[in-house]
Amino acid sequence: MSTLLHQLAAQVWQGLGNNTRAGMLKLKGTLPACFREGIKEAVQQNTLQAAIQRILASPPDLVPDQDTLEQLRAGWGNEGYSAPPRYLREVATQVVSVNGAVLECGTGLTTILMGLLGGRRGITIWSLEHDPYWHAHIKEVLRRYHIPGVEVCLAPIKDYGQFGWYAPPLQRMPRTFDLVICDGPPQKTTLGGRYGLLPAMRDRMTHGSVILMDDAIPQAATIQHWKEDFGVAVELVDVQEHTFAIIRPQMTSSRTSIA
């Protein structure tokens, strides 16, 4: 029943005018919890839609400004886990200039952002997601807002012996990727965490490929292993106690990949 009321509250909110919404917000603390949650969800949806419309109204090769990225992040919710605006800006900067396919490991707000920018330029984003619920959720958001160019692949985590990583649909995927957004698989539940990206997919990268990795400090061990095993070049970017890495594979290792 509470879920039904939650959905009903969200639908009612969507149909209200701005003045009525303002009055409702003042009374929000007196409303039942299911209605408060419904209003919160509706506000987030409106915020997300407004940010998406701002981006769609701009040329696809234009990096969104700080206000738009913050609005997009607020509308997405899940802010404790979503990438910060500076990292989103770096993702956007890379996507508007990339000429080849993009690989994303783990889906989220970056999936939406890259579709809004790269998808409109004819760039295909291949996003790997191991969680069935999150896979379905991302696909629904892409469908709802008509965001093009994103192939969201349900890819369970596979045991490769020395590490765990996704089981990607390699036969359908491009031979090379110019950009990789590395935000998965989960460190806590996957042997080696994100390490498997390079042993698994390095033969689909070129000397000019770029890997962006959020949360670089928690991933320091993975980055160090990549330096030792694959000779990657790493640039760390520190922004207000948040660090991400720009990584450039050198393609000099003789290790065997899964592809």
- Residues 148-203 pLDDT 10s: 999 999 999 999 999 999 999 999 999 999 999 999 999 888 999 999 999 999 99
DSSP state of 84: P
Partners of 104 in beta bridges: 127, 181
Say whether pLDDT at 16 is over 60: no
Number of Cβ within 10 Å of residue 90's Cβ equals: 20
How many Cα atoms are found within 13 Å in the side-chain-facing hemisphere of 253? Answer: 21
Instruction: Determine the pLDDT at residue 5.
Output: 44
The pairing of strands 157-159 and 233-239 is unpaired
DSSP state of 231: -
Across the chain, mean pLDDT equals: 85
92 in helix, strand or coil? helix
- Taking residues 207-216, report their average pLDDT: 92
pLDDT level of residue 44 (50, 70, 90 thresholds): confident
CA 91, 83, 189, 136 torsion-angle sign? negative
How far apart CA 97 and CA 80 sit, in angstroms, is: 29
Partners of 105 in beta bridges: 128, 182
- Taking residues 13-35, report their average pLDDT: 52
Residue labelled with tokens 């949806």: 45
pLDDT tens-digit profile of 115-129?
999 999 999 999 999
Instruction: Determine the pLDDT at residue 1.
Output: 40
Instruction: Determine the pLDDT at residue 19.
Output: 52
Say whether pLDDT at 137 is over 70: yes
Spatial CB neighbours of 70, under 8 Å, sequence gap ≥ 6: 85
How many Cα atoms are found within 13 Å in the side-chain-facing hemisphere of 251? Answer: 12
How far apart CA 253 and CA 255 sit, in angstroms, is: 6
CA 22, 24, 29, 34 torsion-angle sign? negative
Structure tokens that stand for 63 in this block? 């990096």
DSSP state of 27: T
pLDDT level of residue 2 (50, 70, 90 thresholds): very low
Instruction: Determine the pLDDT at residue 218.
Output: 86
Query: Cβ(68)–Cβ(117) under 8 Å?
Result: no
Query: Cβ(112)–Cβ(76) under 8 Å?
Result: yes
* 64 or 1: which leads in pLDDT: 64
Domains defined along the chain, listed by start: 2-56 (no CATH), 81-248 (3.40.50.150)
Say whether pLDDT at 21 is over 90: no
pLDDT level of residue 101 (50, 70, 90 thresholds): very high
Dump strand ranges (E) for the chain.
102-105, 125-129, 150-154, 157-159, 164-166, 177-182, 205-213, 233-239, 242-248
